[in-house]
Structure 1
């Protein structure tokens, strides 16, 4: 009954929006976006459709993490959070196909398909731009499903800026954020620090292990964790037309798992997990002057250079005596006669499981040419290195990719924009591949009509090719196997969008079709089907206690769906937003045992997802402003090939914000108070079956923030840039 009432309320909220003929967020007409084309456009005039989560929405929603924000404020994302990171899905495709950027630069995490989104501090997010599908030539193989660009807050004003934000909630959930920024002449510095921790929770004590249902398992739904991150960015502007920067981060995360002697066969009790991440980058930017062919064109040609190094290391920290099984290296690796040996690990010892490093260099330029042409071109180099002493044949593996792209935006007529691009990829193992992109936007008053087509090309990751993971639980053995015989994946993405964006009203509907060939997935395979070059002696005779999964190319796959967003500004300070996503997926895989093609649904697919919110804000006095956000999100059943399906769910939350003090003065305060999962929904599905959602039930939280700002509040150049774009396009 609760589910029916909640669903009805969702559609009533949507109905209110539709009845009022819909619009988006306050100030959306003035929002500037860059992700789709790499050049600045007002959101309503972006040639490539872009979805934006604005700073106002972020403030009023009060999400504690990026997962929380994306799942609560859009309808296209789904998450399955775990110890190894977030298994994210966008329109049917998982982490490996989603490119996450921070200020236009790729984040680095587990290239095996799970990214630790704890690297992203939600308190440091200015806004989020989302481009779905491989629609831009600017981005490479990671972007078949889409691009998420996290735009961070910049405090480049002259003087001193200090802020502190402390959030505390149920399950001892602590989120701490600090920023220290200052500017002296041509030099500026910004330091960010964050801490995240949670005691974890357990939604059920039932667990299926070794063909037995345990009723007193100590395993948690989410384990206790704590992490911290320190980042620094130094900027030097030797002239008004040039900028040099250097930045670096260090991140550490510990996951503490319950120790239980009752069921020692469950190896999750014998070691904790630890992640050490680090990054360093240098770069520069040059402004080459403006194109004077048209007096109203104030854009400046730009050349940028970025070089960065990233490291993601993953360790076991042993808490009990544990025997680690290791395959002897050398010529016998992968041979049926290969031999395994065991090493005793004692409490207090640590062992590296994998160290993934990446070096990238990007030189790009944006040039504003005569006759309304904007040329965006660049050269990119990427080197990936994997060190996994016990999980690869030689202990290390690597890959190297070079890319060149060119993209041109031009207006054939005042009301017709064409954006065309090409990306040439050269991979060390898989050779050359050229992928075209083409989109068109027709403008008619407040309406925009967009069509897009793009090809994608994605080579197998180093882990998909070489990584081999043996997991022993009592008498059961699980073996995940890389496959050096994989082929690259290719895609064709088609989209059509109609959008109305007025001052009080926005509606957008997008239909899309994404066809993938040779899609790579981790699938179950009988031991007898594993190629002789991969089979190991430890797999024994193929008895049922051995389960093998191997990365394989599916013959083809396709995802298709419809995304719709509606928003209406009822009056000053009150906005209603709704979003709905319909998704259908199919993948075809040749079953060698049955000698026939089988059709499967891509794991994690839910046909229906939705979200809705009502956001209200009002300044009662010059020193006090109130914000209230009531929101809901839900999903239909999520389908999986193994371990049953995830249940449908709907969650509700309320967040209130209280701004105290004049925001244009030196010192101001902010208090957030909220309740998540108001109706106390808990999925008590037995472990290790799939959950629709892992929420612990109703949680309460509060945030206290204080901001000290001495000096000019905004950077003049940034203000003039945004104003010029607005003047030019209006």
Structure 2
């Protein structure tokens, strides 16, 4: 009996060893077919089994302990066509390298700004212009103004002593809501957002929704919403360093470190920019000349610069913590400071700006599709004079506070699905703003609050027809109640998308427009407490055509604004005249204005690594009450770009040629700003290693050396200093 048991056990052991020996492993890489780019996180799985894995940070995978035999292996990656391949697993090591092609029917990247909820770009019911990371990288911009004017014909920037002020389809910064990762950018320079605070090296992508979006975002979103989404990483350790240097002492640096450890993540960033500034003309108009005839203007030499020397830095820190699969929290804080330095022979002080902000919030998922968010944001922006020499009772380097602006808001939002074809969003927002400025604000301090509730319904009426309808109720401290509805529709027909939108906008006067008093040189600017809120009606219709290599869109729009706030020249009082004031301007409501136009955007993948794209924008912006054009607006804007992108095993080459063309800008009673034509060549060389990459960027800005040398104080289409050479480097590490 024992002998038979021994024989049986021996046979079973031999069989088990034989079975164990008949196993193999499968490993390989997953790359994109065009350019051999490693695809991180691609899925590799065996059909009809539970066997599968994902590629690592180098785009490689390994599957072990596979029984020998034939299998159908599927490989998939977002934005690429899924690939099936039959393979026979043999005993020991097996290899399968896969190349995926871009999907011809891909829906594009996910966008969120138009509805506040995620949609694939091609299926987004609200028209959204997406500026992706490849295009941001190709332009290699020195600043946000350079980036947007180099890519989108809908944007323009009016240069000023304190910075460039943004404009979208003929309407200025006051009507544009700028978001950074969904958070409102706050604090202004000369009445407009300081877009210099945005570092292009930190931008992952930009989403632009044109036209009134007050139903979802409230005040300021009359011309549109610009949502800047910054770089992030889900790798355990991520670090990136960018450096760029150019002529005129222009340097910029950006560093970022991210850590993801289980439920906790941290993201730290530091940016710094500095420049010596430059002068376009050595002459300015003598303001002391009493002759009002422009033909008799007297020019005098000046040390004033059209772009003043500056230096700034931004530090930000974000922490995220997932308590569970349902509940997560975040806290975010940032600090920004900037010095604008003026020559001592021009003025005895420069400018200093300081912004401190922090946010905190939570997200709670009630199920797979429904969730509740709550956010609190606080921002304090301060504006100083900083003396560059001893003057009266002030010493060199001393700062004198002029204005403090504060904004706090609380947002509550709940998103839930009623059924597969119907998603609902409801929410509320409370905003409180304050401004303090001794001698510049009536009573030295003013404040206002806004309380609003909103609702939005996203409906898929039939297979190819989607509708978004929303409405916002607003209660303002000074201006009572109002409603702002919005309706957008998308109809898909083969490769065509047809979109239409109607929306009402509402914008209360800012505290500065109501109460501010500011003297600049011999001009005095006054607020007006009798201003009415601005209201708008926006209509748009667009056609979009997308196939594998070609995408193009044409949009027509009309944005009518009632009671637009602008300046009027009034009689200077005797007391102000005695203080040297020659011109007094006061805010008023100018009645009806209208911005009407057409935007055209296209992109064509020629092949062999080449892509040709660009766009054209026609803008007819008028003050209909006085039957004149709006100031600072041109009629024709265009962008052209030719890109080349090619990758080998460990080396990638990118070359871009970009051009910006626009005509003269109108200014009532003053010389127009000249149109211009700027071209830029950029080359980028990237070298990859295990978990690291090193990239060198070099190029020529303003190839044909155009310079607008109008006298200091004139209106400029561009303050580009002429042909300049720049070079930069980027180092990344991820594990």
Q: TM-score range by the shorter chain?
A: 0.7 to 0.9
User: What is the CA deviation profile of residues 488-511 of structure 1, one whole-angstrom value per residue up to 9, with x for unaligned ones?
Assistant: 000000001011011111110000
Query: Which position in structure 1 is the counterpart of 2:603?
Result: 567
**Counterpart-to-counterpart distance in 1, 2:284 and 2:190:** 26
Q: Of 710, 715, 731, which aligns to 1:685?
A: 710
Cα distance in 2 for partners of 1:573, 1:425 equals: 51
Q: Which residue of 2 aligns with 1:468?
A: 517
CA distance in 2, matches of 1:136, 1:575: 36
| Residue 174 of structure 2: aligned partner | 96
Task: Tell me how large the CA RMSD over aligned residues is.
Answer: 1.9
Instruction: Report what 1:609 is aligned to.
Output: 637
Residue of 695, 699, 723 corresponding to 2:720: 695
Q: Partners in 1 of 2:675 and 2:163 — Cα distance?
A: 22
* Secondary structure of the structure 1 residue equivalent to 2:370: strand
Which residue of 267, 271, 278 corresponds with 1:190?
A: 267
Q: C-alpha separation between the residues in 2 aligned to 1:191 and 1:100?
A: 22
TM-score by length of 1: 0.83
2:316 equivalent to 1:231 = yes
Alignment of 1:393-408 (within 5 A): 393-408=442-457
Unpaired runs of 5+ residues, structure 1, are 1-23, 261-267, 291-299, 324-343, 528-534, 590-597, 711-730
CA distance in 1, matches of 2:103, 2:621: 31
Contact 1:135 1:452 (C-alpha < 8 Å) held by counterparts: no
With over 3 angstroms needed to count, the CA separation of the structure-2 counterparts of 1:393 and 1:135, relative to structure 1, is closer
1:583 deviates by 0.5
- 1:538 pairs, out of 545, 568, 576, with 576
Give the direction of change, closer, same or farther, for the CA distance of 1:26–1:630 in structure 2 (3 Å limit): farther
Q: What whole-Å deviation, never above 9, does each CA across 1:235-281 have from its counterpart, x for those lacking one?
A: 11111222101110011100111121xxxxxxx51101100111011
Residue in structure 2 matched with residue 44 of structure 1 by the alignment: 122
Conserved? CA contact 1:94–1:113, under 8 Å: no
CA distance in 1, matches of 2:262, 2:624: 61
Following the alignment from structure 2 to structure 1, what is the Cα–Cα distance between the partners of residues 320 and 201?
A: 22
Displacement of 1:163 in angstroms is 1.4
Cα shift at 1:81: 2.8
Distance in 1 of aligned mates of 2:668 and 2:571: 15
Does 1:618 find its partner at 2:655?
Answer: no
Matches within 5 A, 1:173-322: 173-209=250-286, 210-211=288-289, 213-260=298-345, 268-290=346-368, 300-320=369-389
Quote the residue 1:491 is aligned against: 536
Change (3 A) 1:223 1:170: same
- Residue 540 of structure 1 deviates from its aligned partner by 5.2
Verify: 1:146 aligned to 2:174, yes or no.
no
Q: State yes or no: 1:107 paired with 2:185.
A: yes
Cα shift readout 1:644-701 (whole Å, capped 9, x = no counterpart): 1100111000111111014xx3121111111110000000011211111110000111
The Cα shift of 1:161 comes to: 1.2
Q: Structure 2 vs 1, CA of residues 322 and 486 (structure 1 numbering), >3 Å: closer, same or farther?
A: farther
State the Cα distance separating 1:125 from its structure 2 match: 0.8
CA drift at 1:121? 1.9
2:657 is matched with 630
- 1:14 corresponding residue in structure 2: none
What's 1:265 paired with?
Answer: none
Contact 2:159–2:716, Cα closer than 8 Å, also in 1: no
**Conservation of the 8 A alpha-carbon contact between 1:112 and 1:461:** no
For residue 450 of structure 1, report the CA deviation from its aligned partner: 0.8
| Contact 1:26/1:569, CA 8 A, preserved across alignment | no
CA distance change for structure 1 residues 272 and 112 in 2, over 3 Å: closer, same or farther?
closer
Q: CA deviation at 1:127?
A: 0.2
- Measure the CA separation in 2 of the matches of 1:645 and 1:146: 26
**Does structure 2 conserve the Cα–Cα contact (< 8 Å) formed by 1:559 and 1:584?**
yes
- Number of residue pairs aligned between Structure 1 and Structure 2: 626
Query: 2:409 maps to what in 1?
Result: 360
| Cα distance per residue 1:256-312 (max 9 Å; x no partner) | 11121xxxxxxx51101100111011111122213xxxxxxxxx2121111011011
Q: Does 1:61 align with 2:139?
A: yes
Q: Which has the higher contact order (CA 8 A, sep 6+)?
A: 1
Q: SS in structure 1 opposite 2:301?
A: coil
Shift of 1:572: 4.8
Is the 1:83–1:255 contact (alpha carbons within 8 Å) kept by the matching residues of 2?
A: no
Change beyond 3 A, Cα 1:415–1:26: closer
The partner residue of 1:421 within 461, 466, 470 is 470
Label 1:443 to 1:661 Cα distance change in 2 as closer, same or farther (>3 A).
Answer: same
Q: Could you tell me the TM-score, scaled by structure 2's length?
A: 0.83
Deviation at 1:322, TM superposition (A): 5.0
2:41 aligns with none
Q: Deviations over 1:373-423 (max 9, x none)?
A: 111121011111101112012111111011111111101111111111101
Does 2:720 align with 1:651?
no
Q: 1:468 to 1:642 in 2, by over 3 A?
A: farther
Three-state SS of the structure 2 residue aligned to 1:141 is: coil
Matches of 1:670 and 1:504 in 2, distance apart? 28
Q: Give how far 1:524 is off.
A: 2.0
Contact 1:310-1:357 within 8 A present in 2 as well? yes
Which residue in the other structure is 1:557 paired with? 593
How far apart in 2 are the matches of 1:257 and 1:28?
52
Tell me which residue corresponds to 2:550.
Answer: 505
Measured after TM superposition, the shift of residue 26 of structure 1 is 10
Change (3 A) 1:72 1:308: same
C-alpha distance in 1 between matches for 2:491 and 2:109: 20
- Give the CA deviation at 1:575: 1.0
Match of 2:571 in 1: 526
Q: What is the CA distance between 1:114 and its match in structure 2?
A: 1.2
For 2:147 and 2:717, the matched residues in 1 are separated by 17
Structure 2 counterpart of 1:714: none
